[in-house]
Amino acid sequence: MTDADVVIGLEVHVQLDTDSKMFCGCSTEYDDSPPNTHTCPTCLGLPGALPVVNERAVEYAVKVGKALDCSIAEDTAFHRKNYFYPDLPKNFQITQYDSPINEDGELEISVEDESKSVGIRRAHMEEDPGSLVHKGGSIERSSYTLVDYNRSGTPLLEIVTEPDVESPEEARAVVDKLREILEYLGVFDADRGGALRVDANVSISVDDEEGTRTEVKNIGSTKGVVKALRYEVTRQKNQLKRGGDVQQETRHYDDDRGVTVTLREKAEEKDYRYFREADIPPLETSEYVEEVEIPELPDERRRRFREEYGLSREEASKLTSKKAVADFYEEVADVDSDLAATWVVDELLGELNYRDMTVEDVDAEDFRGLVELVDAGEVTDANAVEAIRASLDGRQGFVEVVEERGLGVADEGETLEACRTAVEENPDAVDDYLSGDDEALNYLVGQVMQATGGGADPATVNEVLREELEGEG
Ligand SMILES: [Zn+2]
């Protein structure tokens, strides 16, 4: 094999964060519900039930179209994709075939500081099927499978890229970037149970000759994207190296084992017998296109953070990858933008992460109070870290913890007092110091720091102690 290039196209299925399903009024909050309790004749596909399009889902699709710089169809329509599978009670899925709402968009990604643009072929609306529950844990290990229709009819947006993705790492960047944008737009919320599933078309082209594609299905996480694609790329390359052919097929990604396995021969488009969904009239989008506005997106916000607050690329990127974190930072930034960035990025996020919490669990105004105290030199860095930990552990306010535990900086009088006490109470250390043992001074400094709850300034304590000890000698 001489010149082999990896060619990857992605299909990202995003569950839109609407309250009700795509074509009926059933609630999408089914995560903690018993199976098959969020269903009605429409999402069970019973004869005679009629679908009605969820307006919010259309609004969200238009938002995504605008954010990805797509051309948005003035008239769009729904189609039936016919196939039989137990999770699909109607024997067809309502989707969009030759008139998708969004086409021809673009997504900027960057991998190791190299930027590139990935084409978005289309982003269309469809419904999620029900879910199959394999009792043995996986499809291969189960002797039977149950089906739950709670998910059936959940609004999906399928975002399809052009085959511009050239490595598993780029694929991951695409998925990460899409997730960021979707969260900024408020159309997707993983914390509220929103799922994002990826199918990937993978082939290896040799000497510019197109290779046979496989489709890897149902990759459920960002980490999974890299693992599944690395496996599949290596598998195909090895196959070609041995002089074999790559079969056109659909493969399933097994996350536990980190491998892809043959699921079935790939169905061709004609197998699906697409035709117009006559129960749904054509949809005009002009009203949505006019009314829907999109907020500042992650890239813009990153640029603005660097310009407005003078942050480094890394800080700006850490602060903007989640909208909630960026919003939080902006409520603290005016104390001192550098100091605020340091305390949010280096301290708060780590401590939150460690406790499985997010910035949404803490009060920005209160944190701002703590940063103000640090800025004014009224709390030492070490004590501010302690205040953050204690506050998160005890679900108590930051400033409240500082006051309650006396974590504030000791004033001159307090420091002097504590130094004198230390000298009085530790005659042995004083003797040692006076007979030339400098180590003894460190011990006394430690005593003072302890007595002031870490609030004294170590340099001042040193100085004051030396003066006091000279008086002794
Ligand atoms: Zn329903």
Ordered by start, the domain boundaries in the chain are 4-291, 298-404, 412-472
CA of 157 to the centre of ligand 1 (A): 18
From the CA of 191, how far away is ligand 1's center (Å)?
Answer: 23
CA of 204 to the centre of ligand 1 (A): 42
pLDDT at 380 over 60: yes
- Rounded to the nearest whole angstrom, what is the distance from the C-alpha of residue 219 to the centroid of ligand 1? 26
Cα of 51 vs centre of ligand 1, distance in Å, is 9
Q: Which pLDDT value is given to residue 273? A: 92
Ligand 1 center to 82 CA (angstroms): 20
Per the CB < 8 A criterion, the answer to whether 216 and 229 are in contact is yes
Q: What is the pLDDT of residue 262?
A: 86
Half-sphere exposure of 280 (CA within 13 A, CB side): 25
What is the number of other CB atoms lying within 10 angstroms of the CB of residue 330? Answer: 18
The Å distance, Cα 29 to ligand 1 centre, comes to: 12
Instruction: Tokens for 326, please give them.
Output: 């960026």
Confidence grade of residue 466 (pLDDT, cut at 50, 70, 90): confident
Q: What is the mean pLDDT of residues 94-102?
A: 96
Could you tell me which residue, 123 or 448, shows the higher pLDDT? Answer: 123
| CB atoms closer than 10 angstroms to residue 30 | 22
Q: Which of 169, 77, 158, 81 is nearest to 121 (CA)?
A: 158
H/E element holding 200?
strand 196-206
Tell me the CA–centroid distance for residue 224 and ligand 1, in Å. 31
Task: Give me the residues near ligand 1 (ion), CB cutoff below 5 Å.
Answer: 24, 26, 40, 42-43
Distance 23 CA to ligand 1 centre (A): 7
Interval between CA 37 and ligand 1 midpoint (Å) = 10
- Range of weakest confidence among 14-23, 146-155, 179-188, 450-459: 450-459
Task: Give the pLDDT of residue 255.
Answer: 84
pLDDT at 266: 67
Dist CA 274 CA 98 (whole Å): 9
Q: What is the pLDDT of residues 216-228, one digit of tens each?
A: 988 988 889 999 9
Determine the Cα–Cα distance for residues 24 and 42; give it in Å rounded to an integer.
6
Distances (CA, A) of 91 to 39, 82, 312, 440: 17, 6, 53, 83
Q: Is the pLDDT of residue 1 over 60?
A: no
Given this model, what pLDDT does residue 304 score? 97
CA distance 376 to 383: 14
% of the chain beyond a pLDDT of 70: 99
49 alpha carbon – ligand 1 mean position (Å): 10
Residue 40 CA to ligand 1 centre (angstroms) = 4
Q: What is the pLDDT of residue 56?
A: 97
Read off φ and ψ for residue 37, nearest 5 degrees. -105, -15
Task: Encode pLDDT of 27-39 as tens digits.
Answer: 999 988 999 999 9
pLDDT for residue 472: 67
Provide the Cα torsion 67, 72, 77, 81; round to 10°: -50
> Domain 412-472 maps to which CATH number in 3.40.630.30, 1.10.10.10, 1.10.10.410, 3.40.1390.10?
1.10.10.410
40, 25 Cβ separation under 8 angstroms: yes
Query: What are the beta bridge partners of residue 4?
Result: 206
Q: What is the rounded distance in angstroms from the CA atom of residue 84 to the CA atom of residue 272?
A: 10
Burial of 321 (0-12, 13-18, 19+ CB in 10 A): middle
Average pLDDT, the chain: 91
pLDDT of 44 above 70: yes
Task: State the virtual CA torsion across 215, 221, 222, 224 in degrees, nearest 10.
Answer: -60
**What gap in Å lies between CA 43 and CA 90, rounded to an integer?**
9
Reply yes or no on whether the pLDDT at 433 is more than 70: yes
**What contacts 134, CB < 8 A, 6 or more positions away?**
141, 142, 145
Among the residue ranges 137-146, 149-158, 394-403, the one predicted with the least confidence is 137-146
- 154-192 confidence digits (pLDDT tens): 999 999 999 999 999 999 999 999 999 999 999 999 887
> pTM for this structure?
0.83
**C-alpha angle 153-154-160 in degrees, rounded to nearest 5:** 105
Give the Cα separation of 417 and 239 in Å (integer): 79
Which two tokens mark 260?
């892809």
Beta strands 75-76 and 283-284, pairing class: antiparallel
Residue appearing with tokens 């084992």: 257
Rounded to an integer, the average pLDDT of 332-338 is: 94
Average the pLDDT over each of 253-257, 309-313, 337-341, 410-414 and give the range with the smallest value.
410-414
Q: Residue 178 is which amino acid?
A: L
Percent of the chain with pLDDT over 90: 67
pLDDT at residue 395 above 90?
A: no
Token pair 């000298």 is at which residue? Answer: 423
Residue 473 pLDDT level (bands cut at 50, 70, 90):
low
Q: 195: CA distance to ligand 1 center in Å?
A: 19
Least confident interval from 107-111, 138-142, 419-423, 439-443: 138-142
d(CA 451, CA 456): 9
456 pLDDT band, cuts 50/70/90, is: confident
> Ligand 1 centroid vs 436 CA: distance in angstroms?
85
Would residue 112 be called left, alpha or beta, if left means φ above 0 and alpha means ψ between -120 and 50 degrees? left
